[in-house]
Chain A
Amino acid sequence: MSLQTQLTPMLDDIRRRWIELIFATYPSDASGFLSREKDQFANPVGFAIRQATATLLDSVVTGRSEHTAEALDQIVRIRSVQDFTASAAVSFVFLLKQAITDVAGELVAKDARAWLELDERIDGLALEAFDVFMQCREQLFTIRLAEQDRWNASARLKRQRGLPVSPSGMHGTGRKEHPRR
Chain B
Amino acid sequence: MSKTPEELLQIHYHPPKHDWMDPSIDFEARRGTWSYPGGVKSLEYLGLPNPREWSPTDEDWKLPPNWQEIVHRGFKDLLTKYRSLRIFMDCCVRCGACADKCHFFIGSGDPKNMPVLRAELLRSVYRKDFTTAGKILGRAAGGRALTIDVIKEWFYYFYQCTECRRCSVFCPYGIDTAEITMAARELLNLLGININWIVEPVANCQRTGNHLGIQPHTFKDNVEFLCEELEDITGIHVDPPINKKGAEILFIMPSADYFADPGIYTFMGYMLLFKYLGLDYTLSAYASEGGNFGLFLSRDTAKRLNYKMYAEAKRLGVKWILGGECGHMWRVVNQYMDTMNGPADFLEVPRSPVTGTVFENAASTKMVHICEFTADLIHHGKLKLDPSRNDWARVTYHDACNPARAMGLLEEPRYLLKHAVNHFYEMPENTIREQTFCCGAGAGLGNDENIDMRMRGGLPRANAVKYVHEQHRVNLLTCICAIDRAVLPTLMDFWVPGVRVSGIHELIGNALVIDGENERTTNLRGEPLHGEGEVSDDV
Same complex for A and B? Answer: yes
CB of B463 within 8 A of CB of A148, answer no
CB of A30 within 8 A of CB of B448, answer no
Using Cβ atoms and an 8 Å threshold, which residues of chain B touch A156? Answer: 261
Using Cβ atoms and an 8 Å threshold, which residues of chain A touch B494? Answer: 77, 136, 139-140, 143
CB of B109 within 8 A of CB of A45, answer yes
* Smallest Cβ-Cβ distance to B198: which chain A residue: A171
A-B contact count (CB 8 A): 181
Q: Does B456 interact with chain A (Cβ within 8 Å)?
A: yes
Give the distance to chain B from A46, nearest Cβ to Cβ, in Å: 9
Give the distance to chain B from A149, nearest Cβ to Cβ, in Å: 8
Contact flags (1/0) for B49-85 with A, using CB distance below 8 Å?
0000101000000000000000000000000000000
Give the distance to chain A from B432, nearest Cβ to Cβ, in Å: 10
Given known pairs A44-B463, A170-B256, the reply for A83 and B110 (CB within 8 Å) is yes
- Report the bound CA distance from A181 to B448 in whole Å: 13
Using Cβ atoms and an 8 Å threshold, which residues of chain B touch A77? Answer: 494-495
Using Cβ atoms and an 8 Å threshold, which residues of chain A touch B201? Answer: 171
* Smallest Cβ-Cβ distance to B526: which chain A residue: A157
Given known pairs A30-B105, A41-B463, A140-B451, the reply for A174 and B13 (CB within 8 Å) is no
CB of B41 within 8 A of CB of A174, answer yes
- Report the bound CA distance from A98 to B226 in whole Å: 60
Q: Does B91 interact with chain A (Cβ within 8 Å)?
A: no
Contact flags (1/0) for B1-38 with A, using CB distance below 8 Å?
00000001101011101000000000000101100100
A2-10, A20-28, A61-69, A111-119 - interface stretch: A20-28
CB of B100 within 8 A of CB of A172, answer no
Using Cβ atoms and an 8 Å threshold, which residues of chain B touch A34? Answer: 109
**Interface size band for A:** 35 or more
Given known pairs A95-B13, A175-B196, the reply for A150 and B260 (CB within 8 Å) is yes
Using Cβ atoms and an 8 Å threshold, which residues of chain A touch B431? Answer: 41
Residue in A37, A78, A91 whose CB lies within 8 Å of B100: A37
* Smallest Cβ-Cβ distance to A94: which chain B residue: B9
Given known pairs A87-B11, A153-B259, the reply for A41 and B467 (CB within 8 Å) is yes
Q: Does A169 interact with chain B (Cβ within 8 Å)?
A: yes
CB of B106 within 8 A of CB of A42, answer yes
Give the distance to chain A from B444, nearest Cβ to Cβ, in Å: 9
- Report the bound CA distance from A77 to B463 in whole Å: 12
CB of A146 within 8 A of CB of B490, answer yes
CB of B460 within 8 A of CB of A171, answer no
Given known pairs A21-B13, A37-B100, A81-B452, the reply for A151 and B106 (CB within 8 Å) is no
Which A60-102 residues sit within 8 Å CB-CB of chain B? 77-78, 81-83, 87-88, 91, 94-95
* Smallest Cβ-Cβ distance to A166: which chain B residue: B218
CB of A43 within 8 A of CB of B106, answer yes
Using Cβ atoms and an 8 Å threshold, which residues of chain A touch B109? Answer: 26-27, 30-31, 33-34, 45, 82-83
Give the distance to chain A from B118, nearest Cβ to Cβ, in Å: 13
Given known pairs A24-B14, A154-B226, A170-B486, the reply for A177 and B40 (CB within 8 Å) is yes
* Smallest Cβ-Cβ distance to A139: which chain B residue: B494
Residue in A26, A81, A136, A180 whose CB lies within 8 Å of B55: A180
Contact flags (1/0) for B396-438 with A, using CB distance below 8 Å?
0000000000000000000000000000000010110000000
Residue in A42, A174, A180 whose CB lies within 8 Å of B53: A180
CB of B13 within 8 A of CB of A91, answer yes
Q: A44-B107, A45-B109, A140-B452 are in contact. List 16 more A-B contacts (CB 8 A).
A: A24-B14, A30-B105, A41-B428, A45-B459, A81-B456, A83-B33, A88-B11, A91-B11, A140-B451, A144-B451, A157-B229, A168-B212, A171-B212, A172-B197, A172-B447, A172-B448
The 3 tightest CB contacts between A and B, nearest first, are A153-B261, A30-B109, A29-B111
Q: Identify 28 residue pairs between A and B in the complex whose beta-carbon atoms are under 8 Å apart, listed by A's number.
A: A28-B14, A28-B17, A39-B430, A40-B467, A42-B100, A42-B106, A43-B106, A44-B106, A44-B460, A77-B494, A78-B107, A78-B459, A81-B452, A82-B109, A83-B110, A140-B32, A143-B490, A144-B490, A147-B486, A147-B489, A150-B486, A153-B259, A158-B225, A166-B214, A166-B221, A168-B218, A172-B200, A178-B36
